[in-house]
Structure 1
Amino acid sequence: MESAIAKAINLKSYPVAILWTDEKPEGAAQFSPGSWGCVMAMLGAAATKAKSAVFDRDSFGCVGGGYGLGFGNTYEQFPGGLEGFSRFLSSGNAGWEPGERIAEGMRAGGARGEFVDHFLHGERYKKDPETVRRYLEALPPMEIPTRYVAFRPLTQVAEGVEPVAVSVLVDPDQLAALVVLANYDRPGLENVAIPFVAGCQAVALLAFREASSEHPRCIVGQTDLSARKYLRSQAGKEITTFTMPFRRFREMESNVPGSFLEGDTWHSLQQ
């Protein structure tokens, strides 16, 4: 499947189709069950190296990844459960006796030192645990209806197959162009959202949610500082994600001809 958008914005990487499927794509990379990994690194490999990736309920890399891919409330599997996660994302588990015990066990078990440090002292992305709990209420989990979520270069997806969403890695000029295109045929000014979520949740969970809405919005991602670390070596530090529910992607594709993408202002930015 080819993309008019990719050509018009001079995309340097492959658009990535995000699919629900019960069949594992041949040759797709997959995390070992129970092993740690970053979902966004898999997205980067699909976009920059045309390597497909697949995930299921036993191989999603980290609990945030499982949540973000639609495999239920995997935050319940976080050390210390939802309370441990609420403290981890905010002020940390130091001073909470169950959390201190868990950290000791993780150290003894050879857990990554960076993770134990963040577990104890917090990532500090939210002010306090209560704010995290309220944040999670606004981000309900999802159970997708298939065994797998797959990332595939769009060029490897046959016509007639409908992904749930399409995500692209874009620089600031390309991001600006896609924000304009997403508002080109619609009234209002909030047809693109920039949410505070994990990188994988922006390209999957929230796109899945938008896909079922009457007027699906596009999602800007990679505002997740941790995920930016893992994608930077593959795609560069200036890259963000722009994810389009597939129905919206098709509409935007059809709007390329005759739009500003054929005009002087856009072409001058590309020189």
Structure 2
Amino acid sequence: MSASSIATAEARALHEALGLSEEPYGIRYADQAPAGGLAPEPGPALSIEGERAGTIPWTEVWEKFSCVMGKLWLARKKNTAAVFEAARYGCPGGSFYLGFHAPQLDFITCYVSTGIPGTPVAGERYLPSPAAARRFFTDIPPRPAPARYCVMEPLSRCPADAPPELVTFFARGEVLTGLANLAAFVTDDLEAVAAPFGAGCGFLVSWPLYYLATGRLRAVLGCGDPSARKWMRPDEMTFTVPRALYDLFLEKWRDSFLTAGTWGQVRQKIARSRKAWGET
């Protein structure tokens, strides 16, 4: 049996032990996009220089708008890949979080905070001021995209010669309990899980890569973004880990609480939850 098939079998066993109702997604950057992936329509180029020069055609930007989390939601329903690039970003915020342009646009600093006085842009009021938003975008800068495409696809479909950098789970409370405790177990780090402020796609990509760049294997509990909740199942959150942490999951989970009696009781609640939500 090849190493790749062993890893796949062990991954299935881990996912079953956790009580997952859906395969995790792998996230990677690549110079080629997988066939059949879902991508936003091409949109105008984005840059702060173009914004300040007044050359960004905002009407066209919003006509082509497509939330990263929304495109991922459609991909999840079809069990296929969601694909993004600098020319097919869907959302100006998502383009920044996925590393396709920087710095963030001034419009977005207003949009996520208090809006623009005298215009229809009331602002989402997730941060108290445009200055606070600018500080967030500056202090937690996404990594520039290292390849043309950002690919989010079912984990088992990631090519053996192009493994994902990140792995995202979609789960509710009981399963998240298992994931969070497993992260602490395999890292021996009592703060192995972070729940920072951010956008839905930022939780998937920019925050995990930011922590990884600091030398810490940290999982990110995400989708505490009200604007992205429409693209999640009720009570569902994301849980994203770097590949190295996922590999530790595969290596060490059989020695953890996941094979003990208490987790068996939790699995009963997971089964009831899945039945209640029609996911059996």
Fold conserved (TM > 0.5)?
yes
Task: Name the counterpart of 1:16.
Answer: 25
Q: How many Å apart are 1:219 and its aligned residue?
A: 0.7
Q: Matched residue pairs, number?
A: 239
Secondary structure of 1:151's counterpart equals: strand
Deviation at 1:256, TM superposition (A): 1.2
Q: Distance in 1 between matches of 2:75 and 2:224?
A: 20
User: Residue 64 of structure 1 contacts residue 74 of structure 1 at CA under 8 Å; is this kept in 2?
Assistant: no
Residue 30 of structure 1: how far off its partner (Å): 0.8
Aligned equivalent of 1:71: 100
Counterpart of 1:190 in structure 2 is 191
- 1:145 Cα deviation after fit: 1.5
What residue number does 2:254 align with? 257
The counterpart of 1:85, out of the listed 78, 95, 108, is: 108
Q: How does 1:67-146 map to 2 (within 5 A)?
A: 67-73=96-102, 75-76=104-105, 82=106, 84-95=107-118, 100=119, 116=120, 119=121, 121-146=122-147
Q: TM-score, normalised on structure 1? A: 0.82
| 1:59 CA drift (Å) | 0.7
- The amino acid that maps onto 1:18 is I
The 1:133–1:157 alpha-carbon spacing in structure 2 relative to 1, beyond 3 Å, is: closer
Tell me the equivalent position of 1:163: 164
Distance 1:124 1:163, change over 3 A: same
Structure 2 CA distance for partners of 1:16 and 1:240, relative to 1, 3 Å: same
Which has the higher relative contact order, 1 or 2, with Cα contacts under 8 A spaced 6 or more apart?
A: 1
What letter is aligned with 1:265?
T
User: What is the aligned counterpart of 2:72 among 43, 62, 83?
Assistant: 43
CA displacement at 1:48 relative to structure 2: 4.0
Partner of 1:241: 238
Counterpart of 2:190 in 1: which secondary structure? Answer: coil
Is the Cα contact below 8 Å between 2:31 and 2:148 reproduced in 1? Answer: yes
Name the aligned partner's letter for residue 195 of structure 1. Answer: P
- RMSD of aligned alpha carbons: 1.7
Contact 1:165-1:211 at 8 Å conserved across structures: no
Secondary structure of the corresponding residue to residue 140 of structure 1: coil
Aligned partner letter, 2:266: L
Alpha-carbon distance change, 14 to 48 in structure 1, aligned in 2, over 3 angstroms: farther
Question: What is the Cα deviation at residue 208 of structure 1?
Answer: 2.4
Distance 2:102 2:117 in 1: 24
The residue type equivalent to 2:29 in the other structure is W
Inter-partner Cα distance in structure 1 for 2:172 and 2:93: 25
Runs of 5+ unmatched residues, structure 2: 1-7, 44-63, 269-280
Contact residue 40 and residue 71 of structure 2 kept, 8 A: no
Superposition deviation, residue 73 in structure 1: 1.7
Quote the Cα distance in structure 2 between the aligned partners of 1:262 and 1:69.
37
Percent identity of paired positions between Structure 1 and Structure 2: 31
Could you say which residue in structure 1 is the equivalent of 2:40? 31
SS in 1 for 2:126: coil
Shift of 1:139: 1.7
Question: Which runs of structure 2 are paired with 1:192-211 in the superposition (5 Å)?
Answer: 192-211=193-212
Amino acid at match of 2:92: V
Is the Cα–Cα contact under 8 Å of residues 25 and 153 in structure 2 kept in the other structure? yes
Letter of the structure 2 residue corresponding to residue 51 of structure 1: T
- Mapped to 2, the partners of 1:138 and 1:74 lie a distance apart of 11
Gaps of 5+ in 1: 77-81, 101-115
Give, in angstroms, the shift of residue 45 of structure 1: 3.4
Deviations, residues 75-103 of structure 1 (Å, cap 9, x unaligned): 32xxxxx1x322222221124xxxx3xxx
Deviation string, structure 1 residues 55-74 (Cα, Å, up to 9, x no partner): 10011111111111111226
TM-score, normalised to structure 2, is 0.80
